[in-house]
Amino acid sequence: MSLNLVSIPFAKGNKYGMKTKLLLLAGCALLLGFALVIPAFAQHIEPGPACANAEYFPETRHNVCDQFLKFFNERGGAEIFGYPLTEWFVEDGRLLQYFQRVRLEYHPENPLAYQVQLGLLGSEFAPEDKKAPIPPSEKPRSNDRERRYFPETGHTVGYSFLKFYDEKGGLDIFGYPLTEFTVENGRYVQYFQRALMEWRPNRGSIALHNLGEMWIDLHPHLYEYIKPARAWAPGTEPVAATLKITALQAAASVRNAFTSRGDRQTVWVYVYDQNDEPVEGAAVQLIIHYSTGDRVIEASDIPLTDKKGHTQKTFDLGEPTPGRLVVIDANVTYNNLTTQAQTSFFPWW
């Protein structure tokens, strides 16, 4: 899957920063014994409804709509949630949307003030061996201003974590603490039901980890939904963005690196745009440089590239000079753009 996001290298071109984080996550799982509950597939996914009001975020090329937008703007915006990674959609009957750090969910069965909530992504990632409640002897006093005990989970929140917790939304946003603060890969972190906080000593501040991004990395069925969308028009459905192709790149290869005289050869050509996305409808011309002269296979005799950016051509070799390298130029044209790829083979006796 692939998108180029501004603030995270996770979509297309870098499959990506996301992959790097996935490797980091795998390492954490080995070290800390993560118990991830990851469904093999979603039961049912469908597009979200049209919306009446939306804001488009060019940083990740997605919209936030209606009640989600209201919640986003009132409860911390990009600082808390990050930027949207998907449009909203319905999964297993629940309207939801992924952001870099969280998942927003719509619960119409709740009172109005609690209909939009953060999904329990922190619960999915919190290591089981860190969830045990602290012993009674370690509970802070009720008047302790630096630490607060939560009997619901048997854990405390303290110091900079507590200050951030209180200032940025408290229980409604983060839920209850699931662990004490702990050292993970050299970082001080603390897991909550809906978030993962990280202390950054170089900045002297708390930040939220990108759990939304990590969750998508682990669920390939969601990759389709990170494709960029156009800005909403009121009352319409979002559509995949048609990104302008500004540059071409191509690769070519042959079926047989060594051939016999009188044999047949196949050339494969793949064409991509500046974002490493396949280009459909590109024309390819082949120029085969024999030692005795050039042979041209015109684009009219070669299929246009398909949805995967691929085309191929099989042709008779004739009687090339044995042992003399044959170079093939693939000249690619799409609209007013051009590029070239090259491959070669050795004919033998």
Domain that holds residue 309: 248-348
**Residue 7: count of CB within 10 angstroms of its CB:** 14
pTM: 0.58
pLDDT value of position 2: 32
**Residue 134: count of CB within 10 angstroms of its CB:** 15
pLDDT value of position 255: 85
Task: State whether 101 and 221 are in the same domain.
Answer: yes
Relative to beta strand 258-260, strand 337-348 is parallel
**Residue 219: count of CB within 10 angstroms of its CB:** 15
Exposed, middle or buried by CB within 10 Å (0-12, 13-18, 19+), for 74? exposed
Task: State whether 212 and 176 are in the same domain.
Answer: yes
pLDDT value of position 21: 42
Q: How many residues does the chain have?
A: 349
Retrieve residue 308's tokens.
Answer: 């995967």
Task: State whether 37 and 168 are in the same domain.
Answer: yes
Task: State whether 212 and 333 are in the same domain.
Answer: no
**Residue 64: count of CB within 10 angstroms of its CB:** 27
Q: Is residue 232 part of a domain?
A: no
CB 285, CB 334: distance < 8 Å: no
Give per-residue burial for 317-330: e unless 16+ CB within 10 Å, then b: beebeeeeebebbb
For 335, residues 6+ apart whose C-beta sits below 8 A from its C-beta are: 245
Q: Is residue 12 part of a domain?
A: no
Exposed, middle or buried by CB within 10 Å (0-12, 13-18, 19+), for 295? middle
Residue 161's φ and ψ, nearest 5 degrees, are -65, -40
Task: State whether 216 and 295 are in the same domain.
Answer: no
End residue of a domain, out of 226, 257, 278: 226
Task: State whether 193 and 274 are in the same domain.
Answer: no
Task: State whether 256 and 222 are in the same domain.
Answer: no
End residue of a domain, out of 193, 226, 259: 226
Side-chain-side CA neighbours of 254 within 13 Å: the count stands at: 21
Task: State whether 71 and 187 are in the same domain.
Answer: yes
Q: Is residue 7 part of a domain?
A: no
The full 3-state SS of the chain, as one line of letters, equals CCCCCCCCCCCCCCCCHHHHHHHHHHHHHHHHCCCCCCCCCCCCEEECCCCCCEEEECCCCEEEEHHHHHHHHHCCHHHHHCCECCCCEEECCEEEEEECCCEEEECCCCCHHHCEEECCHHHHHCCHHHCCCCCHHHCCCCCCCCEEEECCCCEEEEHHHHHHHHHCCHHHHHCCECCCCEEECCEEEEEECCCEEEEECCCCEEEECCHHHHHHHCCHHHHHHHCCECCCCCCCCCCECCCCCCCEEEEEEECCCEEECCCEEEEEEEEEECCCCECCCCEEEEEEEECCEEEEECHHHCCCCCCCCEEEEEEECCCCCCCCCEEEEEEEEECCEEEEEEEEEEEEC
Per-position pLDDT tens, the chain of length 349 = 333 332 333 333 333 344 344 344 444 443 333 333 334 344 577 778 888 889 999 888 899 999 999 999 999 899 889 999 999 999 888 999 999 999 999 999 998 888 999 999 999 999 999 999 999 999 999 889 999 999 999 999 999 999 999 999 999 899 999 999 988 877 889 999 999 999 887 677 888 999 999 999 888 888 888 888 888 766 666 655 556 788 899 999 988 888 887 789 999 999 988 877 788 999 999 999 998 999 999 999 999 999 888 999 999 988 888 888 999 999 999 998 999 999 998 888 7
End residue of a domain, out of 194, 226, 258: 226
| Overall domain count for the chain | 2
Task: State whether 155 and 280 are in the same domain.
Answer: no
pLDDT value of position 34: 36
pLDDT value of position 288: 95
Task: State whether 222 and 267 are in the same domain.
Answer: no
Task: State whether 204 and 283 are in the same domain.
Answer: no
